[in-house]
A = this chain, B = another copy of it.
Amino acid sequence: MNRMGTREPTRRQLLMRIGAAAGSMAAYQAMTQLGHAAGTDFSGFPSLSGARKGTTVLVLGAGLAGMLAAYELRKAGYDVRVLEYQNRSGGRNFTLRGGDTLTELGGATQHVGFAPGNYLNPGPWRIPYHHQGLLHYCKLFGVQLEPFIEVNHNAYLHDSDSFGGRPQRYRDVMTDFTGYTAELLAKAINQNKLDQPISADEQHDLLAAMKGWGLLDKNYGYSGTELVALRRGYDKMPGGGPDGAPTPSQPLGRAAIMKSGLWQWLAFNMSYEMQTTMFQPVGGMDMIGKGFAKHVNDIVTHNVKVTKIGQDGGGVTITYVDDQGSGAVTEAKAEYCVCTIPLPVLAEIEVQASAPMRAAIQAVPYASSVKVGLEFKRRFWEQDDQIYGGISFTNQPISQVSYPSTRYFTDGPGVMLGGYMFGPAAYAFSGMTPAERVEEALKQGSVLHPQYREEFSNGIGVAWSRMPWTLGCCSAWSEETRRAHYKAMTTMDNRLVLAGEHASHVGCWQEGAILSSVSAVTQLHQRAVSAA
């Protein structure tokens, strides 16, 4: 029995859960479902004019959505106060550094041992260029950004059942997959074997494209030529002087490439949300939360737990308890409320709202997710493997490991993301103790990097379903719940409006929190102005 009172999964159960996630198509589909939202529309915060000065608003939650609401509403003349469960602002926007502690449901407390300057972003860690709402506030609050490297052609792709379990370089899989695809299509075209008639002109264009794009030889074959080396690299690298001639490398087999399913990671990295140029804040993702907090922390009350959200014709009444000190119960009143409490927590609170909104709150589950951070004594992935930033993918439960997109080429310890799990693997890792999570990440990661054991210094494992203030990673809308509940979730209900990534079409991204809050604040303002 573990601390939660439930039975720990057996090794066999664990492997079965893992198996369900590890099938390449399943993993890919999970990824693309997570990637259901992409790109946003934002061209500056709408002007809120005509507010009756001093109209009172209570904001519940000091994450990005709550702090945005507080910042913009106060700027527009509202009298705003924020209630926050944790002892800090930022919500899921947070960063763990040496000296930090993290206590999860069940009581396990982790003390982060990272060296100065190193960090892990347990929640959001990358910002697509098209998340213009978030980028707007980064600029407004002076948050310095640097490129986040998503694709690294020299990182590894790994499938336990392919190529004898040996990780392959991303560029080799990409080159060979492209080459074989082009070869098969070119030869089918060349023999008029397509399923539909194609004009001679298009045949000509297609053949040229397959040949050039696939690096095919003059017979439209994909073979281990000098040409292919331009993309794959070399066994013996080119050099200077008399002995500088390189030796091309040899392609992997076609059937093995196709069977491996490693193409799924090429596909994943082509998705809109992973496209260049991505960014991250210099020094850790929480620089954004801190940027917001600098402007609103004076009106945030920390360490209070909301127990009831009441409303009537006259206003809202929020009941909360002091979660650290006296345990005293307080009622706070205001004319309006913006509630950004994550749904799994909100679902346990009495909310006076319309039946549709209450149903919406209950309807949307949260995805579970686990991240493991591993500090190593040196950046061996750079020094030994020539991998600078980016991600290696594997069909093992850890799913991926990522190399820091910052402080390249430095000496001393570095922190890798040692695993990033959704779905069954996340449940399995959540069921482990923090030390077991780290140990499992080390074991699996050693397949990619044999240096792991020798170079390991310390690690942490963050299970989102065990964070008491969110009880999950982020909202998992389905098409059905979206149809049934999205409107009620996002539409102001008398004096109460919800915000947070769950109230957007950009779920699981900080941008969703930003844009949902823009909508919530706008609705609230329109309601308040028309009521005045």
Contact = CB atoms under 8 A, between A and B. Distances in A.
A202 B153 contact: no
Interface stretch (A48-56, A88-96, A443-451, A515-523): A515-523
Interface in A255-272: 255, 258-259, 261, 263-264, 266-267, 270-272
Interface stretch (A77-85, A237-245, A428-436, A459-467): A237-245
A504 interface: yes
A356 B388 CA distance: 42
A212 B242 contact: no
Interface in A486-532: 486-487, 490-491, 499, 503-506, 512, 514-520, 522-523
A458 to B, nearest CB: 26
A194 B184 contact: yes
A149 interface: yes
Copies of this chain assembled into the complex? 2
A45 interface: no
Contact of A504 (B174, B244, B514): B244
Contacts of A14: none
A326 interface: no
A39 interface: yes
- Interface footprint category on A: 35 or more
Contacts of A386: 129-130, 132
Contacts of A37: 238, 246
A284 B261 CA distance: 41
Interface of A: 25, 28, 32, 35-42, 129-130, 132, 135, 138-139, 145-147, 149, 151-154, 171, 174-175, 177-178, 181-182, 184-185, 187-191, 193-196, 199, 201-202, 205-206, 208-210, 212-213, 215, 227, 229-234, 236-246, 254-255, 258-259, 261, 263-264, 266-267, 270-273, 275-277, 279, 386, 388-390, 405, 408-409, 486-487, 490-491, 499, 503-506, 512, 514-520, 522-523
